[in-house]
Structure 1
């Protein structure tokens, strides 16, 4: 339908072919003791030529989309867990800073002459912040059952929209409740 209306760009194909490597320091694994863990990671796009996104000729004017110039993302994550209290509850928290590319393809709107007009948006790098804090129940150590740790947390995100074609949207935020089953 958008193609029939003359929209110059109807769909953006987003690549999900990447390799991620993470260096972890002090991962708590199954520990019930107080812990501070750190992760440093890099995510590298497998196809540098096309970048994170492209369009096919039948889906729009290929000249309006310039391939991504930033095929790498880096992130740093901090994780905290308290000692388990007498009632088997444990406080948990996580904070992640991720530097990612904001996609740089144009947005379109209809001007007063009812014509599609491009609003060019350049690609750039930006930081995104992801955080969670909550509490979880740790079953006694003699329990080998699935979901021996269950919990609830408050999770928040602010930064570039992390979802596919929408990564061209800056200043995106989320706040929600997370259920944890480990």
Structure 2
């Protein structure tokens, strides 16, 4: 083989090696960009879920506190709730249920599995709120029976009140709870 042919062959091999290196580097950069994009997307989705879950927790904690406090007052105040107390409770309850429903929908839209884990707690709240609402209907017909019925709802509310911190402590973040695992956290 002639020296010129060897030089051309070496140049062709060098060109292919250079081209191969460029292609590999480009593919590596594209792959790295894709991984970074995926990580960013997951981080944003996790953040959105955490915010939605926090909103449900915040709404529920206010609502449960309102129900428990109203029932406690009915249980311990000899005069029972006045018509003004009842009207204020009903107005606050209506607004609170709308906000809680909005928060529920946001959570379900973010992650159905997390919503399914929290849903029994939400149902428990609605059952407690229904207990008070039905007791208020009774109270309008028979004051003594109604006050006793509202006071009986207090125990149900306390069970919910006591279980909420633990349920939301098992929310998104480091750890191994079902809620945490549902949003792909380590």
* TM-score, normalisation: structure 1: 0.23
Higher helix share: 2
Higher strand share: 1
The higher-RCO structure (CA 8 Å, 6+ apart) is 2
Q: Which has the larger radius of gyration?
A: 2
* TM-score, normalisation: structure 2: 0.23
